[in-house]
């Protein structure tokens, strides 16, 4: 079990630039989640994939955010025209199918928008 891998670990970008993060889930996990976490808060749900299908997306997610999981394996999260309010930790998690399946989290990508 190599765990959930996220890259990069840190990203500093200027306001207005586009950024893309990658998540490699645990290989046999068909569910993949993206969360955003700001300092002192709990993770906030962004979106969820079952295999390659994006089944849920937060209404808080603006059109500047897009996520893909093209082959049902790794996933990417892109933020276009970044704003300072996008600065946060972006967490990816994966799990197997099943209502009681726990989420396995990566260590996140910390985004700083200057």
Structure-block tokens of residue 25: 């889930």
3-state secondary structure of 85: helix
Instruction: Note whether 31 binds another protein by CB under 8 A.
Output: yes
Shortest Å distance, C-beta 42 to another protein: 4
User: At 86, phi and psi to the nearest 5?
Assistant: -80, -10
Considering beta carbons, is residue 14 or 27 the nearer one to another protein? 27
Stretch that binds another protein, among 14-22, 61-69, 77-85, 93-101 (CB under 8 A): 93-101
Instruction: Note whether 69 binds another protein by CB under 8 A.
Output: no
Query: Is residue 94 a contact partner of residue 26, using CB atoms and an 8 Å limit?
Result: yes
* H-type alpha helices, 55-96: none
Stretch that binds another protein, among 11-19, 62-70, 71-79, 92-100 (CB under 8 A): 92-100
For another protein (CB under 8 A), the number of binding residues is: 26
Binding residue for another protein (CB under 8 A) from 55, 83, 96, 114?
Answer: 55
Q: CB-hemisphere CA count at 13 Å for 51?
A: 1
Question: Which residue's entry shows tokens 């969360």?
Answer: 35
State the residues that interact with another protein by CB under 8 A: 4, 31, 33, 35, 40-45, 48, 50, 55-56, 91, 93, 99-100, 102-108, 110
């Amino acid at each position: 079990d190599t765990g959930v891998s996220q890259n990069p670990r840190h990203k500093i970008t200027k306001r207005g630039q586009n950024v893309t993060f990658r998540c490699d889930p645990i290989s046999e996990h068909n569910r993949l989640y993206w969360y955003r976490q700001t300092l002192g808060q709990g993770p906030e749900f962004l979106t969820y994939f079952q295999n390659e299908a994006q089944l849920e997306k937060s209404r808080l997610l603006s059109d500047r955010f897009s996520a893909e999981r093209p082959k049902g394996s790794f996933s990417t999260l892109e933020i276009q025209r970044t704003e300072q309010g996008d600065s946060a930790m972006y967490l990816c998690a994966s799990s197997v199918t099943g209502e009681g399946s726990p989420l396995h989290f990566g260590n996140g990508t910390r985004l700083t928008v200057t």
